[in-house]
Amino acid sequence: MSDTVCFNQDSLIKVDDKLIKDIKEKAKSGDSGRYRLCLQHSAQDCLHEMFIVRSRDDYGRPDMHLHTTESHTIVEGVMWVILFEENGEIREAFELSDKGYRTYRIDTGIYHMQIPVSDQVVYYEVKLGPFTQETNIFPEWAPQADDKENVDRYMKDLRKRVQEIIEKGEIR
C-alpha cells in the first residue's frame, strides 16, 4: 500500500464529512496532491468503489477501458471531464460540479480524462474489477505522467482547447 492509496479492511465502512476531510488532508500532505480511499479490500475485488481526491495541477493521463464501464460522482469541487476521439481530438467536454452535472457513466472503448478545476476535487468512482496493468489503455497522443516537459505542454494546449469550447458555450 502506498501513501496515496488505502484499501478498506473493515466489513463496514461509512463515509461522512470527517472522513472526506481526512482524505483531503492526506492528499495535501503527500507529494502527488492525490489520495484514493478504496472501499473494496483489494485491487482483485470484483467491484471497485473509490473516493478520489486530486489537486488542481494533477495530471491523470487519458485512458479507456475495453471490459468495464465506470461512473464518477462529484462530492466536492469542480472538474472537467473530457472525452476524446481515437486521434486525440476532443469529442465532448463537460463540467462535474454541484452546479453542473453531478455524475456520469461512460461506456467501454472511449478515451477520457478528468481535469481538476478547483484547488481540490473529491469524487466517487465505481467500476468493475479486478484491476490489472492491462485494465487501462493509454493513447500514444497523450504523454506519460513522468514526462514532465511534454505533460506541461500537453496540458497547456488541452486547457486552451477546453477554454475555447467553454467560450463558444459548447461545454455542457
DSSP-based three-state secondary structure for 123: strand
Q: Annotate 32-47 with b (16+ C-beta within 10 A) or e (fewer).
A: ebbbbbbbbeeeebee
**pLDDT-based confidence at 1, cuts 50/70/90?**
very low
User: Could you tell me the pTM of the whole model?
Assistant: 0.92
CB 114 within 8 A of CB 106: no
Q: What is the pLDDT of residue 118?
A: 97
Rounded to whole angstroms, the Cα distance separating 78 from 73 reads 11
Average pLDDT of the segment spanning 145-170: 91
Tell me the per-residue pLDDT of 85-108, one tens digit each, with 9 for 90 and over.
Answer: 999 999 999 999 999 899 999 999
Residue 127 pairs in a beta bridge with 48, 70
